[in-house]
């Protein structure tokens, strides 16, 4: 009897009531702390969302974009749910159509270039790769990466098997199917080069702006060195686009140029005529020969760094503008890491190919045949751009330099500033979709710099 009374007392007595009450209070405290932490995170990441346009500039309206009128209904997904509650994946055809529409819009708004090194991450990257190939992307890769348990590392592995700063563009639409989406977002950011673009297609519960901002806020909270550009509704999904910051290359203001700097001195009167920097619909470049007489220059030198595959059209265009009032044609130098580019210009007179293997900026094996390898210049010590520039360019030459805004190319630009050789570059063209701060800094330093979006 005493034992039964003791059990009843323990289960229904004041001691148990106190234990239950304290447990409830503990749960409420945990919930309250979590809510306060979430509110703090939202306040912390607000600056990252300051650039998000209130109205998405990309066109995903089914009425004007017939490809989005799919026969099957795209299934909406709740943002960032556990895999066991994840929505049914799209069919291969639906996924391919959807990603193709996304890529075409990104290209139309200069957020994705056809020569970009692209990576598609997801459970079925084939459909995204097919969409890219359909649009003319031949430097695209796919990886099926979901967390798996590694016996060697004794933990779940989320890492992508690529080095840092390797891709211009990374796309995924599998974030909803991960229990820890932050790890994949951080990996995508890691493999993106500074200035590169990331695009993440996530499920959205609602189509109004609050739902879009919640999706952007969730992804922004995972990013460390990137800014959210846009959050756009795409059928029952949300497309979040972000740009990795150009860390370390955002400003050239701290460089002190030599007191005798011919290009800066000569170009100073014409800086007021240079085209304005506009993110949307940038105007055509205001070429220097329109304002300056270059007929007295010793020779015209055109240097193209890392853009050899697409240089022919730019060379032809530049020749019409610069060589009209000069006694000679451009002396052209194509500096590239792809020896296949050599065969493109080997028969063109006046064009010199310079092999620079470090421009690849990654660990991919070079895609060259044995014949191409034999025709590539051997340089076991590596290519020294500064030394080559000093040997090639002379005082009194008019020099046009064109390059991409990628880490290796920007490193060359920094070296030109450090050595003062930037004073021999009369006009600079940077191929980039979103580098307004970088160009503004160059112009502030006195460099006659343009944004180049291709031909």
Q: What is the pLDDT of residues 269-302, one digit of tens each?
A: 999 999 998 766 678 889 999 999 888 888 999 9
pLDDT tens, residue by residue, 107-157: 888 788 777 889 988 776 677 888 888 888 888 888 876 555 444 545 555
- Give me the pLDDT at residue 47, please: 41
Lowest-pLDDT range, 171-180, 271-280, 426-435? 171-180
Contact 195, 246 (CB under 8 A): yes
Give 205's DSSP letter: S
Phi first, then psi, for residue 100 (nearest 5°) are -65, -40
- The pLDDT, as a whole number, for residue 225 is 84
pLDDT for the residue numbered 81: 45
pLDDT single digits (tens) 176-221: 777 778 888 889 999 998 778 899 988 754 434 455 666 677 888 8
Q: Does the pLDDT value for residue 347 go beyond 80?
A: no
CB atoms within 10 A of CB 23: 10
Torsions phi, psi of 412, nearest 5?
-60, -40
Report CA dihedral (215, 217, 218, 220) to the nearest 10 degrees.
120
Mean pLDDT of all residues in 364-389: 52
- The string of DSSP codes covering 257-323 is --S--HHHHHHGGGGGGSPP--SSSPPPP--GGGTS--TTSS-EEEEEES-GGGHHHHHHHHHHHHS
Residues contacting residue 378 through CB under 8 Å, at least 6 positions apart: none
The whole-number pLDDT of residue 54 equals 53
Contacts for 394 with CB less than 8 Å, ≥ 6 apart: 298, 299
State the pLDDT at residue 75.
47
Residue 399: what pLDDT?
Answer: 95
Q: For strand 155-157 and strand 148-150, is the pairing parallel, antiparallel, or unpaired? A: antiparallel
Radius of gyration of the chain (CA): 28
- Which residues lie across from 243 on neighbouring strands? 197, 227
- Sequence-distant (6+) residues with CB within 8 A of 153 are none
pLDDT over 50 (residue 365): no
Beta-ladder partners of 197: 169, 243
> Degrees (nearest 5) of the Cα angle 5, 10, 11?
100
Cα 168 from Cα 197, distance rounded (Å): 6
Q: How far is it, in rounded angstroms, from Cα 276 to Cα 282?
A: 8
Q: Give the lowest-confidence range in 58-62, 161-165, 418-422.
A: 58-62
């Amino acid at each position: 009897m005493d034992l039964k009374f003791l059990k009843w007392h323990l289960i229904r007595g004041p001691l148990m009531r106190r234990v239950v009450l304290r447990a409830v209070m503990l749960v409420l405290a945990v919930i309250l702390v979590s809510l306060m932490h979430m509110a703090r995170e939202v306040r912390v990441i607000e600056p990252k969302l300051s650039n998000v346009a209130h109205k998405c500039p990309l066109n995903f309206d089914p009425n004007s974009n017939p490809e989005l009128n799919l026969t099957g209904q795209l299934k909406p997904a709740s943002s960032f749910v556990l895999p066991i509650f994840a929505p049914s994946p799209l069919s291969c055809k639906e996924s391919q159509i959807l990603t193709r529409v996304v890529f075409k819009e990104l290209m139309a708004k200069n957020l994705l270039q056809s020569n970009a090194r692209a990576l598609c991450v997801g459970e079925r990257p084939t459909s995204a790769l097919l969409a890219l190939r359909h649009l003319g992307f031949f430097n695209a890769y796919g990886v099926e990466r979901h967390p798996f348990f590694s016996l060697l590392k004794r933990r779940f592995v989320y890492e992508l098997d690529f080095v840092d700063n390797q891709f211009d563009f990374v796309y995924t639409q599998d974030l909803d199917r991960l229990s820890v989406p932050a790890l994949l977002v951080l990996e995508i950011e890691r493999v993106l080069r500074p200035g590169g673009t990331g695009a993440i297609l996530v499920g959205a519960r609602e189509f109004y702006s609050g739902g879009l901002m919640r999706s952007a806020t969730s992804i922004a909270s995972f990013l460390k060195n990137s800014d959210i550009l846009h959050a756009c509704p795409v059928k029952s999904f949300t497309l979040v686009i972000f740009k990795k910051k150009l860390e370390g290359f955002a400003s050239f203001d701290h460089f002190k140029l030599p007191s005798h700097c011919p290009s800066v001195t000569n170009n100073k009167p014409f800086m007021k005529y240079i085209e304005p920097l506009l993110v949307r619909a940038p105007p055509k470049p205001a070429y220097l020969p329109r304002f300056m007489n270059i007929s007295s220059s010793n020779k015209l030198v055109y240097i193209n760094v890392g853009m050899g595959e697409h240089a022919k059209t730019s060379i032809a265009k530049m020749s019409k503008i610069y060589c009209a009032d000069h006694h000679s044609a451009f002396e052209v130098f194509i500096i590239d890491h792809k020896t296949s580019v050599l065969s493109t210009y080997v028969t063109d007179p006046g064009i010199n190919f310079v092999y620079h293997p470090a421009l690849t900026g990654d660990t991919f094996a070079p895609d060259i045949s044995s014949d191409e390898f034999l025709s590539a210049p051997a340089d076991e010590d590596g290519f020294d751009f500064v030394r080559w520039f000093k040997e090639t360019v002379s005082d009194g030459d008019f020099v046009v330099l064109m390059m991409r805004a990628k880490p290796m190319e920007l490193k060359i630009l920094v070296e030109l500033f450090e050595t003062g050789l930037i004073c021999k570059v009369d006009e600079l063209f940077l191929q980039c979709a979103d580098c307004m701060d970088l160009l503004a800094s160059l112009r502030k330093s006195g460099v006659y710099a343009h944004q180049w979006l291709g031909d």
